[in-house]
Amino acid sequence: METIKPHGGQLINREVVGEERQDLISRAKDMPQIVLNAREVSDLEMITIGTFSPLTGFMGQQDYESVCKNMHLKSGLPWTIPITLSTSKEVADGYKEGQEIALYQTSEHLLAVLTLTEKYTYDKEKEAQHVYRTTEEVHPGVNALYKQGEVLLAGDVKVVNHPLNVSFPEYRLTPTQTRQAFAEKKWRRIVAFQTRNPVHRAHEYIQKCAMEVVDGLLLHPLVGETKSDDIPADVRMRCYEVLLENYYPAKHTLLSVLPAAMRYAGPREAIFHAIMRKNYGCTHFIVGRDHAGVGNYYGTYDAHYIFDEFDPAALAITPMFFDHTFFCRRCGAMASAKTCPHTSNDHVFLSGTKVRDMLQQGEIPPVEFTRPEVAQILIDSMKQ
């Protein structure tokens, strides 16, 4: 029982096995080698397991330019974030089209072989402006972009080994596995929730609102590369576990991790996150306030408005938009501006800075803001 077709119609799998795998491993010793950084390892894994379907490798120039300028692949399929592999000009000058290049995680751990179809130069500032809406280096996505090499390498990949030291293996479900899980649970309508932070009461409220109209929730925290000041993934995972154990019905929830890297691309990343969850088999995707935002680079609801720029039939996953939510003392319940007539004086809202200060002092924020079990995990992590 398939709930939704993958993006582009087919779930990609770039892992090779058997004799083909052994042959590639043997021949890789004589190939030129590239050691990937953490983001590139993550992107390779996402290509491998089909999270980035329909991509079968790193983008060529036509796809790259179309994505940057038009937010679509050259085929016309919606896609908003370039997936590229860079190197220096000096290294790229030594490569020829058609050549095989071995991709390593470390100098000893082979991951994949790329068949080079194209190498091309690109304008980093143009990409920054298109994708991140800024060229400022303090933006974490732009900063990562500016550190890339001057030449991009394109080509399909064949993957022979999984990455080393993967986090949360028990929760690391592939798109094939989540689709199987949904079928076993007999879920036809599945909503995904993207998070890189612990879930507080406002998140819980919008998740449960969404759950009222679907069969199940995929709580899908991103555990790839994030900003240095984001809460560590292992702490976040403990928060999710205790929250699901105490406040969510097990038959309608599934916790799995997304090993993708954060881009902090705001509206474009909202579309990108939706496409990925479509590949995992979800039919709906929650888009909240300032989705994938950082600093003041994006408007509060820009991640909602960008969906208007796409053909719903081409995206083929239903966004569920939620306003900023809070606890209203007069309503005696969680609410938003759509449902609450009262002033901000009646609303329990704590800034991130205020919450951090309270936690560092060992104070549990009010239950209207966060579940005490979650707060205790955060307090304990700050003592370590």
Domain co-membership, 353 together with 243: yes
3 in a structural domain: no
Q: Which two tokens stand for residue 317?
A: 């996953």
Residues 246 and 375 in one domain: yes
Q: Are residues 113 and 211 in the same domain?
A: no
Domain C-terminal end among 159, 193, 215: 159
Active-site residue, from 13, 70, 143, 197? 197
pLDDT at 269 over 60: yes
Are 113 and 58 within one domain? yes
Contacts of 43 (CB under 8 A, 6+ apart): 52, 58, 83, 85, 260, 261
> Which domain CATH number covers 62?
3.10.400.10
DSSP percent split of the chain into helix, strand, coil, nearest 5 = 40, 20, 45
Query: Which residue, of 133, 159, 185, is where some domain finishes?
Result: 159
Answer yes or no: 345 catalytic: no
Share of the chain above pLDDT 90, in %: 83
Please give, one letter per residue, the 3-state secondary structure of 219-246.
EEEECCCCCCCCCCHHHHHHHHHHHHHH
Cβ within 8 Å of residue 173, ≥6 positions away: 181, 256, 257
pLDDT reading at 31 higher than 90: yes
Q: Find the domain containing 37 and state its range.
A: 18-159
What pairs with residue 217 in β-bridges? 191, 253
Checking if the pLDDT of 218 tops 60, the result is: yes
Question: How many domains, the chain?
Answer: 2
Averaged over 14-40, what is the pLDDT? 97
Percentage of the chain beyond pLDDT 70 is 98
Q: Which of 179, 196, 238, 268 is catalytic?
A: 196
Q: Is residue 226 part of a domain?
A: yes
Residues 6+ apart with CB under 8 A from 349: 326
For residue 352, pLDDT beyond 70:
no
Q: Are residues 241 and 143 in the same domain?
A: no
Q: Are residues 76 and 195 in the same domain?
A: no
List the alpha helices (DSSP H) in the chain: 18-28, 38-49, 61-70, 89-92, 124-132, 140-146, 175-185, 201-211, 233-247, 267-279, 302-305, 312-315, 352-360, 372-383
Same domain, 96 and 218: no
Cβ-proximal residues to 259 (8 Å cutoff; 6+ apart), any chain: 42, 45, 46, 166, 167, 172, 223, 224
Q: What is the mean pLDDT of the chain?
A: 94
Beta 325-328 vs 318-321: how paired, if at all? Answer: unpaired
Whether residue 152 is found in the same domain as residue 237: no
Cα distances from 114 to residues 14, 57, 155, 324, 366, in angstroms, run 11, 8, 6, 44, 52
- Alpha carbon 212 to its chain centroid, in Å, reads 24
Which of 99, 127, 159 is the endpoint of a domain? 159
- Domain co-membership, 303 together with 202: yes
The answer to whether residue 197 is catalytic is yes
Mean pLDDT of the region 237-249:
95
Q: How far is the C-alpha of 6 from the C-alpha of 70, rounded, in Å?
A: 21
> Which tops the pLDDT comparison, 196 or 280?
280
Query: For the whole model, what pTM was predicted?
Result: 0.95
In this prediction, residue 157 carries a pLDDT of: 98
pLDDT over 90 (residue 91): yes
R_g of the chain computed on alpha carbons = 21
